[in-house]
Homo-oligomer: A and B are copies of this chain.
């Protein structure tokens, strides 16, 4: 089954919001085994919406549309859908009852604007939205399907799995796309490609290998539109050999969380240049309290001294961005939290604060554990965002490595 995604909203084309719906929908469709052939974003313009519907309806079996269902004048998707299907809007009493239930606690808030949300194209099946006032809509014509969902990500993230995917699964049987992911660390894309050149030549024509480079790692994706990936996956595993890699959909952050949970040790952090991002990455994953005890964001030297016990003499002699301070921060975080392990970062995130000796991107990372404390110096990037991101990811990976090595050597 082929799918296309249309997101509607001037705010997308003006660059004022990042369209996360397309990605969410595409990922869910891929998991279902459907192949997304196009994503398109158009403005709140009747003619643009009709053109996008016509183009994508021509090339896909299913078109999923988000946006333009709000109660205000700039929301025109319902009218455009009615026009596309040569029908008109009519008041739907069932949908109005859903609205009344949604506003049961505050009936006075069900105003004239919200009431227009019970007017839908005559030919649609309404999909109940329990998270907002705009209901979803399911249209069928000539064996093809068009689905309209709200632009608010939270609402589409509820409606798609709840009301749309089960119906698609029932209607379409040719859900044959399969894929497998590898994440390979610490090798540039071009070097990895040379290493995998023979493997790539050996692939059957229906299997594709793609490279998705990121700072610090490259993801490899094997995809087959039809048929089986087992042989290709086994051969790629062999070709990667001793490189540091993991398999599956998990991001490096999710993998770190899984490993920390498995290793059964408690961890903590002391962050200067990463400013809380390491703690944030750890606690984004549900269940983090099983292994994460806490952390200290020691942005000022006073916090480094008073909370983490970094020595004033070392701060003065070596500066805050130094091996001595990184080591003491990690030890301090371990001590004050009582964690088995602690990781610390201190560096120059930028854009200001760089010097010839310690340019922007210089970061010291230290890991303290029951067997001692070690520190390493890194030189990341020129931009603040990337420095925070790379330092956090590197610190987490190294923390996991140290715990793994310790547990092996016991």
Q: Does A265 contact B (CB under 8 A)?
A: no
A14 touches B26 (CB 8 A): yes
Q: Does A314 contact B (CB under 8 A)?
A: no
A303 touches B337 (CB 8 A): yes
Choose among B179, B190, B352 the residue that contacts A114 (Cβ–Cβ < 8 A): B190
A337 touches B300 (CB 8 A): yes
Choose among B111, B179, B221 the residue that contacts A194 (Cβ–Cβ < 8 A): B111
B36 touches A13 (CB 8 A): yes
A200 touches B73 (CB 8 A): yes
Given A11-B212, A112-B194, A211-B72, are A302 and B338 also a contact pair (CB < 8 Å)?
A: yes
B14 touches A221 (CB 8 A): yes
Q: Which residue of B lies closest to A208 (CB)?
A: B74
Choose among B40, B210, B221, B300 the residue that contacts A39 (Cβ–Cβ < 8 A): B40
Residues of chain B within 8 A (CB-CB) of A276 are 271, 276-280, 282-283, 295, 297
Q: Does A236 contact B (CB under 8 A)?
A: no
A282 to chain B, nearest CB (A): 7
Bound CA–CA A263/B78 (angstroms): 47
Residues of chain B within 8 A (CB-CB) of A223 are 10, 14
Residues of chain B within 8 A (CB-CB) of A109 are 188, 190-191
Residues of chain B within 8 A (CB-CB) of A73 are 193, 200, 209
Given A219-B16, A277-B280, A295-B276, are A74 and B286 also a contact pair (CB < 8 Å)?
A: no
A297 touches B295 (CB 8 A): yes
B212 touches A17 (CB 8 A): yes
Q: Does A57 contact B (CB under 8 A)?
A: no
Residues of chain B within 8 A (CB-CB) of A133 are 190
Q: Which residue of B lies closest to A392 (CB)?
A: B280
Residues of chain B within 8 A (CB-CB) of A38 are 13, 40-42, 48
Stretch at the interface among A121-129, A168-176, A382-390: A382-390
Residues of chain B within 8 A (CB-CB) of A191 are 109, 111
Q: Does A79 contact B (CB under 8 A)?
A: no
B337 touches A286 (CB 8 A): no
Stretch at the interface among A27-35, A227-235, A365-373: A27-35
Contact-residue bracket for chain A? 35 or more
Residues of chain B within 8 A (CB-CB) of A42 are 37-38
Within 8 A of B (CB), among A1-32: 10-20, 22-30
Q: Does A152 contact B (CB under 8 A)?
A: yes
Residues of chain B within 8 A (CB-CB) of A13 are 26, 35-39
Q: Which residue of B lies closest to A7 (CB)?
A: B39
A172 to chain B, nearest CB (A): 17
B284 touches A275 (CB 8 A): yes
Bound CA–CA A269/B280 (angstroms): 13
Q: Which residue of B lies closest to A17 (CB)?
A: B212
Q: A284-B385, A296-B307 are in contact. List 18 more A-B contacts (CB 8 A).
A: A10-B208, A10-B223, A11-B219, A16-B30, A37-B42, A39-B40, A55-B55, A71-B189, A113-B190, A114-B190, A154-B383, A269-B297, A275-B283, A276-B276, A286-B350, A293-B302, A294-B296, A300-B338
Which residues from chain A sit less than 8 Å from chain B, CB to CB? 10-20, 22-30, 35-44, 48, 55, 70-74, 109, 111-114, 133, 152, 154, 179, 181, 188-191, 193-194, 200, 208-213, 215, 219, 221, 223, 268-269, 271, 274-280, 282-284, 286-289, 292-300, 302-303, 306-307, 336-338, 349-352, 381, 383-386, 388
Q: For the complex of A and B, list the 3 residue pairs with the smallest distance between their C-beta atoms, beginning with the closest.
A: A275-B283, A276-B279, A15-B27
29 A-B pairs (CB sep. < 8 Å): A13-B35, A13-B37, A14-B223, A15-B26, A15-B36, A16-B181, A16-B221, A17-B212, A18-B20, A19-B39, A38-B48, A44-B210, A70-B189, A71-B189, A72-B189, A111-B190, A111-B191, A111-B194, A154-B386, A284-B384, A286-B350, A288-B299, A289-B300, A292-B299, A294-B298, A294-B302, A297-B297, A306-B337, A307-B337
